[in-house]
Amino acid sequence: MEGNGHPAISDLKRIRCLSQFSEEQLTSLADKLRVERGNKNDCLIELGCNESYSFYLLSGNLEATTGDGNQIEFDSQSDGELYPIAQLRPSLYRVVAAEPVQYIKIVSSQLTDFAQRLESDEGEIDVIEIEQSEEENELTIQLFQDLISGNLSLPSLPSVAQRIQREFAEDSANAESICSIIQSDPAITAKLIMIANSALYSGQAQIESLQQAVVRLGLETTRKQVMTYAVKELFQSETSEMKSQMQKLWKHSQHVASLCRLLASHLQGFDLEQAQLAGLIHDLGEIAILQYAQQNEELRDNPDLLLRAVESLRPQITGMLLNQWNFGPEFVTVGEECEDWFRNPSDTPDLCDLVLIAQYHAMIGTPAMKKLPPVPTLPAFAKLGMDNLDVEQIIEYLKSSRAEIQAIEAHLGAI
């Protein structure tokens, strides 16, 4: 495999996540990238690969094979958009060149670093890649293998939530069937009546029965409130070792969910309940990893190693959980892609864009803020008409919205 010079600006323009950069900026980026070649039968991405980069095929054909032998072919296109191949990490595919190919790889940290340097205008761009030690890599691969082999126990939803998801998946949900399912769980029944009488939904009359609560809330809102209750229950732990970690994760998810609802209330095209639920479920895969760590001393007793495992595997496991629980594809996308600041699959803003923006807001004023790319470079902000903001304006917005955020967090805490 050998280098073949720098990529053409015309090819970089075909990558949607680079659409926010000018031609001059893309020229600067091209100088830092290389077009690489692969010969027939070269393995370009290993099954379980954990390196964080995006792979774009410029010419030739690829064959991608899953661990259970299923195969997908990828052909290069001479025009149109370039899409990343085998993007999830660890990779679910072993990708091999079916013929001589040319491609480019863009390290995930490279775009963030590049965007930060553009804003600060500090000259040369240094790509910083964090390498895992051999021990860390082996543990991550083992966790990944346990995941795809079914040895990693994934959390399950309460029976009531599972039955309601099936009702909606089979298009058989109606007020009578939903009430029949919910009333088998007194705790959820009481919570729904409380929610129907809360400040967010209350009408003139006091609700006293489950049937009245479902009518007031509507079927979709009822479903999302039941799922919110079910998801919150997953953050509970009986072991002292996990309790503090679960509480920390819940507080973060609760805050992001509150920001999602707040932002959705000021933007067009978003359902408030859906936005709130998306914020609540965006990191659910971490629960499975924390539970796994309790059975693995090396992970349990090494906080840094556990953090790296979470960062590597959380998106993929979250996506698997949401698929397993019959969440729609828009929620699965949130789980898999909400850590990718430069994702840009279409010109239309989606639920994942909203969660990305909420997470960005949540990181303002924290140590993680140093790793944030500038607002104007993020496609999600641009698509929602918020790319004219700067960090100071976001901080002021958060301060002015503090009461609303606290009210939503209090509501979630009471569910």
Facing residues of 71 across strands?
A: 65
The tokens of 23 are what? 């031609």
Instruction: Give the HSE-up count for residue 39: Cα atoms under 13 Å, Cβ half-sphere.
Output: 2
Query: Residue 61 to residues 33, 41, 103: CA-CA distances in angstroms?
Result: 21, 11, 11
- Residues 277, 386, single domain; the answer is yes
Residue 107's φ and ψ, nearest 5 degrees, are -65, 135
pLDDT of the residue at 148:
63
Identify the helix (H) or strand (E) that includes residue 74: strand 71-75
- Residues 120, 202, single domain; the answer is no
- Residues 187, 78, single domain; the answer is no
- Nearest Cα neighbor of 92 from 68, 111, 60, 58 is 68
Query: Residue 10 to residues 13, 15, 25, 104, 405: CA-CA distances in angstroms?
Result: 5, 9, 13, 13, 44
Apex CA 60: angle with CA 55 and CA 64, to 5°?
Answer: 55
- Residues 351, 300, single domain; the answer is yes
If one counts every other C-beta atom within 10 angstroms of the C-beta of residue 361, the result is 21
Facing residues of 66 across strands?
A: 93
Q: Which range of residues forms the domain containing residue 124? A: 9-131
- Decide which of 131, 148, 170 is a domain's last residue: 131
Give yes or no for a contact between 182 and 160, defined as CB atoms under 8 angstroms apart.
Answer: yes
pLDDT of the residue at 203:
67
Q: Would you say residue 4 lies in a domain?
A: no
Q: Would you say residue 169 lies in a domain?
A: yes
pLDDT of the residue at 95:
94
Neighbouring residues of 195: CB distance < 8 A, sequence distance ≥ 6: 201, 213, 217, 225, 411, 415
- Residues 92, 207, single domain; the answer is no
Give the integer Cα–Cα distance in Å for 192 and 211.
10
Facing residues of 337 across strands?
A: none
Cis peptide before 345 (omega within 30 of 0): no
Give the integer Cα–Cα distance in Å for 189 and 172.
20
- Residues 17, 126, single domain; the answer is yes
170-209 burial by CB neighbour count: b if 16+ within 10 A, else e?
eeebeeeebbebbeebeebbebbbebbbeeebeeeeebee
Q: Would you say residue 77 lies in a domain?
A: yes
* CATH number, position 409: 1.10.3210.10
- Residues 117, 195, single domain; the answer is no
Give the integer Cα–Cα distance in Å for 46 and 174.
47
* CATH number, position 54: 2.60.120.10
Give the integer Cα–Cα distance in Å for 316 and 333.
10
Q: Would you say residue 364 lies in a domain?
A: yes
Identify the helix (H) or strand (E) that includes residue 44: strand 43-45
pLDDT of the residue at 135:
53
Q: How many domains does the chain have?
A: 2
pLDDT of the residue at 270:
93
- Residues 125, 193, single domain; the answer is no
- Residues 198, 54, single domain; the answer is no
- Residues 170, 61, single domain; the answer is no
- Residues 187, 285, single domain; the answer is yes
- Decide which of 111, 131, 151 is a domain's last residue: 131
User: Residues of the chain whose pLDDT is less than 50?
Assistant: 1-3, 122-132
- Residues 35, 108, single domain; the answer is yes
DSSP secondary structure letters along 175-242: HHHHHHHHTT-HHHHHHHHHHHTSTTT--SSPP-SHHHHHHHH-HHHHHHHHHHHHHHHHT--SSHHH
Instruction: Give the HSE-up count for residue 305: Cα atoms under 13 Å, Cβ half-sphere.
Output: 18
Q: Would you say residue 143 lies in a domain?
A: no
No. of helices (H) and no. of strands (E), the chain: 19, 7
